[in-house]
Amino acid sequence: MTVALRGLSTVVPPTVLVQPEVRDVFAAQPGLNRLAQRIITTSFDVSAIETRHTVIAELSRDAHPDDPVFFDIDSGVLLQPGTKARNELYAQQATGLYVAAGRAAIDATPGIDTADVTHIVTVSCTGFYAPGPDFMIARELGLDAGVERYHLGFMGCYASIPALRLAKQLCEADASAVVLVVSVELCTLHLRSSNDPDTIVASSLFSDGAGAAIVTAHPPEPGERALVLDRFATRITPTGEGDMAWKIGDHGFEMVLSNAVPALIDEHITGALEPLFAHDPALVDALETDAAGRAVEHWAIHPGGRSILDKVETRLVLSEAQLVPARDTLRDYGNMSSATVLFVLRHILDGDAGAGERVAAMAFGPGLTVESALMTVSG
């Protein structure tokens, strides 16, 4: 049975953050020591990010709310709302993005409409509410009352790949299944001023966005651009459990993102690809001879940061062109956690990828966990 990812769509909130301007705001916060100020300047300047998006309208140049919660533009001070206030804004803002991305994916899939959707899989690690986003999508899009709903929560940046794997498994169990997968991450809700290096790095990278797609065994229409989902693999590295983590604090969710992460990925990425390539002798040989970049034409690497992409490019001997989708996504949108790899895949589909060419997708998250997928372009 052939199961394909179709109608891949992305959505971002309207408020745009310009990286140098955000750097200057963070650098001007009271209470920072000299080391923190130096780390802020370096982290923002070497991030390879130009713009990001946020649901926090107060961060807009034109916003002057009477009672600011996150940012007082008149004083230039970043405020410190509690986790409750941050999560309440998540509940307010996330639903619209879930619904918009889900609707866009359905509209972009020829021959599929809302009445055909049998399952929903939602993904997020940046907020919680119940009834949750899966329920809100079903209600707002008018899906069947019996639609099956699943939510993958708090897994981190790699979670969209397990969501696609689950969607494929649902389709393999039921050939008539039409699975709507939607990832929404509002990472900027948890950014704050701090002297802690991990918090500073997170503030220089993370952003908000949504991605969605239809996964189904219903064949694509002639000429439709889609991705056949061939295989998936997961790998937990033997070290690194404490180097990437996501915890709930009193003033939002707290990211641990140590400077050891790029080196850990560099050390273990080849081993993480071995189970993905194991069923294809040509791919195994390519991996063993540093020719993976020639065996697989396109690489959808989660751009967790510029240094991570640099390590992946060097270790797998990829060409600069093969990293363009990931680097462009990082430049224009920042790191949107689990939604980001969907943006990279969209970039590949919107580019010059030809029918029959292979795509390897990889994303990294807490654990340290590496999730990967092998796909084939159709259409």
- 128 near 176, Cβ under 8 Å? no
Taking CA atoms, 8 is separated from 158, 244, 318, 339, in Å, by: 17, 28, 25, 12
Taking CA atoms, 373 is separated from 132, 253, 320, 330, in Å, by: 27, 28, 21, 20
- 120 near 150, Cβ under 8 Å? yes
Instruction: Quote the radius of gyration of the chain (alpha carbons, Å).
Output: 20
CA-CA distance, 329 to 351, in Å (whole number)?
A: 13
- 59 near 76, Cβ under 8 Å? no
User: Which residues, 6 or more positions from 13, have their beta carbon under 8 angstroms from its beta carbon?
Assistant: 53, 54, 55, 93, 97, 208, 209
Alpha carbon of residue 271 to chain centroid: 22
What length does the chain have? 379
Question: If we measure between CA atoms, which residue out of 188, 176, 208, 185 comes closest to residue 122?
Answer: 185
Taking CA atoms, 201 is separated from 29, 86, 186, in Å, by: 15, 20, 17
Query: Would you please indicate which residues are annotated as catalytic (active-site) residues?
Result: 157
**H or E element: which one contains 343?**
helix 340-350
Residue 212: both structure tokens together: 């969605």
CA-CA distance, 35 to 44, in Å (whole number)?
A: 14
CA-CA distance, 111 to 63, in Å (whole number)?
A: 42
